[in-house]
Amino acid sequence: MSARTLGSTLLHLQDVAKHFGGVKAVDGVTLSVPTGTVMGLMGPNGAGKTSLLNLITGFYSPDQGSIVFEDAEIAGHSAHAISRQGITRTYQNVRLLSGFSVLDQVVTGMYADRRAWSLGSLLFSPRERRERRECEERAAALLDRVGVTERRELADELPYGTQRRVEIARALATGPRLILLDEPTAGMNAEESTQIGELVRSVRDDGVTVMLIEHNMRLILDYCDAAYVMSFGTVLAHGTPRECVDDPRVQEAYFGKEADASDIPALREL
Question: In DSSP terms, which residues pair with 9 in a beta bridge?
Answer: 34
Which amino acid, residue 252? Answer: E
**Beta strand 64-69 pairing with 38-42:** unpaired
Which amino acid, residue 107? Answer: V
- Distance from C-alpha of 247 to C-alpha of 18, rounded to nearest angstrom: 26
How deeply is 89 buried, as exposed, middle or buried, from its count of CB atoms within 10 A (0-12, 13-18, 19+)? buried
Q: Minimum CB separation from ligand ATP for residue 35, in Å? A: 25
Q: Which is nearer to ligand ATP, 154 or 267 (CB)?
A: 267
Q: Which is nearer to ligand ATP, 46 or 76 (CB)?
A: 46
Q: Which is nearer to ligand ATP, 61 or 78 (CB)?
A: 61
User: What's CA 15's distance to the chain center, in Å?
Assistant: 21
Torsion of CA 201, 132, 149, 92, to 10 degrees: 50
Q: Minimum CB separation from ligand ATP for residue 211, in Å? A: 13
Q: Which is nearer to ligand ATP, 46 or 147 (CB)?
A: 46
Q: Which is nearer to ligand ATP, 43 or 197 (CB)?
A: 43
Q: Which is nearer to ligand ATP, 120 or 187 (CB)?
A: 187
Q: Minimum CB separation from ligand ATP for residue 154, in Å? A: 28
The answer to whether 173 and 203 are in contact (CB under 8 A) is: no
Which amino acid, residue 269? Answer: E
Q: Minimum CB separation from ligand ATP for residue 256, in Å? A: 16
Residues forming the site for ligand ATP (CB under 6 A): 20, 23, 25, 43, 45-51
Q: Kindly give the interhelix angle for 126-145 and 102-111, rounded to the nearest 10 degrees.
A: 110
Q: Minimum CB separation from ligand ATP for residue 215, in Å? A: 7
Q: Minimum CB separation from ligand ATP for residue 36, in Å? A: 25
